[in-house]
Structure 1
């Protein structure tokens, strides 16, 4: 039997390897933080969908939503139908091609989007309540920078 020596991994590698699991924990645990009004199970999908449509540059169809969310069109269609049924979205004829339907937030949709943003801010403030103000601001700045970079990276053509 050979004896294994403890590996001397690069500490940066260990830190970077921990990022993925940390994001997964954030996704699971952030919704458990006390906010007003409380986050409901359906809110997670609605928040995701409303943000995708709100942040889109140009028109969003069911197919475009499915592409952005990397889900089957039938899944996107069910998510959209739920938001339409609750008055958060409407289907309108495309300005570019009247044969296509595009999605747009309603006034209630914008109000729900704003409620989600308020809940997310409350969660951030609650989770970091014991942190120094400068660390809270720096984390907020870096999260926004990371998200902006993710958008640019997803839009960039693959290299190779």
Structure 2
């Protein structure tokens, strides 16, 4: 039990894991588009050059799984493999204009879904939820970076 919470609060906190697993199913996209959206966002948000290994690390999957997902984005014209500017022996991923347009389209669809799902909420609650969700994601990324740096 978390310090200072009652059993009802504990039940709410215990429901977070299952809620997160259901969350991604609320945005109407195909499985392929969902995977492409993940990859495009990872490559776009990466600090510096992004490799297939970096994508695998971000997703928490084997490199072979990430490689297949990246190859699908390349076949769709969303990504390019290019030589690293830091180390010419490495191959890095670069988003194409088509990939940026697809990423923006996915984001627009996600915002529309958010607005539909929360349409009956007071505006203040919608914005508060959005702010807290963004904070949660940013803090999670910071924690992953700290853990990666600790293990390096």
Instruction: Output the CA distance in 1 between the equivalents of 2:36 and 2:59.
Output: 12
Query: Segments of 4+ in structure 1 off by > 4 A?
Result: none
1-structure distance, mates of 2:139, 2:14: 19
1:85 aligns with one of 75, 82, 102: 75
Structure 1 or 2: more helix by fraction = 2
SS in 2 for 1:156: helix
Who is 1:63 aligned against?
53
Aligned residue for 1:134, secondary structure, equals helix
1:138: which partner in 2? 128
Q: Deviations over 1:46-90 (max 9, x none)?
A: 000011110000111111111111111111111111111111000
Where structure 2 has 5 or more consecutive residues not aligned to the other structure, the ranges are 1-5
Match of 1:25 among 18, 22, 38: 22
Q: Which residue of 2 aligns with 1:150?
A: 140
Q: Which structure 1 segments of 5+ residues have no match?
A: 1-8, 33-38
Question: Aligned residues, how many?
Answer: 143
Backbone CA RMSD of aligned residues: 1.3
Larger Cα-atom Rg: 1
Q: Name the stretch that deviates more: 95-104 or 19-28.
A: 19-28
Deviation for aligned residue 1:10: 2.2
